[in-house]
Amino acid sequence: MSGASPSSVRIRSAFEHLAAALGDDGVLGPGSDLSAYEDPYAFAGSEDFRCSGAVLPRSVEEVQAVLAVANEHGIPLWTVSTGRNLGYGGAAPRVNGAIVLDMQRMNRILEVDEEHGYALVEPGVRFVDLYAYLREHRLKLWMSAPSLGWGSVLGNALERGIGYTPYGDHAAQICGLEVVLAIGDVVRTGMGALPGANTWQMYKGGYGPSLDGLFLQSNFGIVTKLGLWLMPQPAGLMSCVARFQRESDLEAAIDVLASLRRREIIQSNAQIGNVVREVAHRAPRSRWYDGPGAMPDEVIEEMRRDLGIGWWWLLRFGLYGDEELLDARFRIVQRAFSSIPGAEITGDKHLASGSDGLYACEVEGPPRRLAGVPGFFGLNLLKFRGDDCGHLDFSPIVAPSGREVTRVYELVKARAREHGIDYLAGFTASERHLTHIFPILYDKHDAEQTSNAAALLDTLIRELGKQGIGEYRAHLAFMDLIGEQYSFNRHALRRLNETLKDALDPNGILSPGKQGIWPAASRRQRAGTR
């Protein structure tokens, strides 16, 4: 799939130069254990994404030294921060033979400003590190973490990851970047371009075009510092759960939810999931079904009876602010959902007056993430198909209208069933859109299941693409296919991206193929163009 890879002579020579620049402990050359850079959830076709080694710089100067070697040898690099891009390829590169530029050793929290509510971090800072720092220094600031807290703050924000506090749109909290360009130049965006400015993490604009976005989900540069707004700790949090009894309640539930989000009555990303998705976090499917294909409807019913579950859809969200605000918001939310027969809603209030403020609500399970506490609850999902469960994420953006969501839900459900895959449906409601996240689970060692999983994703991308529905994020194997769907005016956007790519990275060394953007030197490797 990835075409020609660099010759072994060139790779050997590059590693000699890299070791001279970074020291032996900064390189993992051919022959080293490179398993950390493989996609942990390999499936049919993903064995093409193998690196020839990795480099682990400790400073901006070492990043520049790596770039010099890569430019000279014409060897592609694949940048990761901690490489936990689960469901999208992990730390594996798009191009066979690329060297992974692993930024995990640049892991300093450079600054946290409590008064102005921001942090400035390097790529290797993980959610768990930033959280530990905030707690250790007893700062009254909250971060926002995705469902798995092991990855990097920087990588996740660049990939437009989402969390569950009011600051859950991570990319929107970015304020100021430091970027090393392919040619080795170091750029600071926004106010960071002004020597001595103390507003780099306060004003996103600066003077002239806003360039932060150029480095999101991109292969235009290597981000070495990222400014991120943090949330002042609120006086209270109400952890809320709503349950809807019938499968057909989805339409009304989405309409009510979307309106509550748009009006900012619900201030954070709210997640609604079907019963299969919820149960998948609790127990392996083999408890109810071990047969071929997707779980039949009657088994799902049996599972619900068995677990005493009376609902079909479960919605989780938080409300934030002073106690009076929490109570008022909760009443409005209750009233809004009461239009749906049988809907039940509960709220669990946590006030900051406890001994350690709101962090008294650090219990296992979803409420933690509503307070931005990094956790690993999402990992439970991966036991649903046994110990060798792999997963691929299907992540289209859907308009927040009940009718549209129901239509998409029915379509995806039908395709999942045709491919023998259980449909774990989940929709995360942002202020103005829904992200439909469908973790496609399969047994990694079952050839039929892995190829069904890949075929299902392929089908969904193409079919929904024709209807104007596109994904926001993609596994390596599907980056080109998804890019293919964004085709307005004969791929004008791709042409613009590739014009920028060629100007910024003349030798085409930075993450070729990322997001379907290829440099001139390897453009022929775009899937389907050979």
Residues acting as catalytic residues: 88, 472-473
Residue list 165-224, contact with ligand ADP (CB under 6 A): 222-223
Residue list 363-392, contact with ligand ADP (CB under 6 A): none
DSSP string, 423-483: ---EEEE-SS-EEE-EEEEEETT-HHHHHHHHHHHHHHHHHHHHTT--BSS--GGGHHHHH
Binding-site member from 50, 84, 391, 526 for ligand ADP (CB under 6 A): 84
Asked if 443 contacts 385 with a C-beta cutoff of 8 angstroms, the reply is: yes
Q: How far is the CB of 35 from ligand ADP (least distance, A)?
A: 16
Q: Which stretch binds ligand ADP (CB under 6 A): 23-31, 78-86, 272-280, 284-292?
A: 78-86
Interaction of residue 93 with ligand ADP, rule CB under 6 A: no
Interaction of residue 471 with ligand ADP, rule CB under 6 A: no
90: left (phi over 0), alpha (psi -120 to 50) or beta: left
Q: With respect to ligand ADP, which residue has the nearer C-beta, 49 or 359? A: 49
Q: Which stretch binds ligand ADP (CB under 6 A): 130-138, 147-155, 357-365, 395-403?
A: 147-155
Closest CA relative to residue 192, chosen from 225, 156, 230, 155? 225
Task: Indicate the residue type of 144.
Answer: S
Map residue 53 onto helix, strand or coil: strand
Binding-site member from 97, 117, 155, 367 for ligand ADP (CB under 6 A): 155
Q: How far is the CB of 168 from ligand ADP (least distance, A)?
A: 16
Residue list 94-133, contact with ligand ADP (CB under 6 A): 103, 123
Instruction: Give bridge partners of residue 442 from the DSSP assignment.
Output: 390
Where do we find the tokens 């109570």? 327
Task: Write phi, then psi, for 124 (nearest 5 degrees).
Answer: -85, 0
Binding-site member from 52, 107, 144, 152 for ligand ADP (CB under 6 A): 152
Q: With respect to ligand ADP, which residue has the nearer C-beta, 159 or 393? A: 159
Q: How far apart are CA 513 and CA 218, in angstroms?
A: 10
Binding-site member from 79, 274, 435, 452 for ligand ADP (CB under 6 A): 79
Q: Residue 140 CB: number of other CB atoms within 10 A?
A: 15
Q: Which stretch binds ligand ADP (CB under 6 A): 154-162, 422-430, 483-491, 496-504?
A: 154-162
Q: With respect to ligand ADP, which residue has the nearer C-beta, 76 or 347? A: 76
Residue list 496-525, contact with ligand ADP (CB under 6 A): 511, 514
Interaction of residue 83 with ligand ADP, rule CB under 6 A: yes
Q: With respect to ligand ADP, which residue has the nearer C-beta, 123 or 190? A: 123
Q: How far is the CB of 137 from ligand ADP (least distance, A)?
A: 23
Quote the tokens at residue 466: 């024709």
Judged on CB neighbours under 10 Å (0-12, 13-18, 19+), 48 is: middle
Interaction of residue 457 with ligand ADP, rule CB under 6 A: no
Beta strands 53-55 and 99-102 are parallel
Q: Which residues contact 87 (CB under 8 A, 6 or more apart)?
A: 41, 391, 392, 393, 439, 475
Q: With respect to ligand ADP, which residue has the nearer C-beta, 157 or 294? A: 157
Q: With respect to ligand ADP, which residue has the nearer C-beta, 157 or 252? A: 157
Interaction of residue 156 with ligand ADP, rule CB under 6 A: yes
CA distances from 237 to 102, 165, 223, 372, 428 (A): 37, 10, 34, 11, 19
Give the single-character DSSP code of 234.
P
Judged on CB neighbours under 10 Å (0-12, 13-18, 19+), 455 is: middle
By rule CB under 6 A, what count of residues binds ligand ADP? 21
Q: With respect to ligand ADP, which residue has the nearer C-beta, 2 or 79? A: 79
Closest CA relative to residue 184, chosen from 79, 72, 68? 68
Q: How far is the CB of 79 from ligand ADP (least distance, A)?
A: 5
Q: With respect to ligand ADP, which residue has the nearer C-beta, 129 or 278? A: 129
Quote the tokens at residue 180: 């090393």
Q: How far is the CB of 84 from ligand ADP (least distance, A)?
A: 3
Q: Which stretch binds ligand ADP (CB under 6 A): 10-18, 77-85, 234-242, 405-413?
A: 77-85
Chain positions contacting ligand ADP, by CB under 6 A:
79-85, 91, 103, 123, 151-152, 154-156, 158-159, 222-223, 511, 514
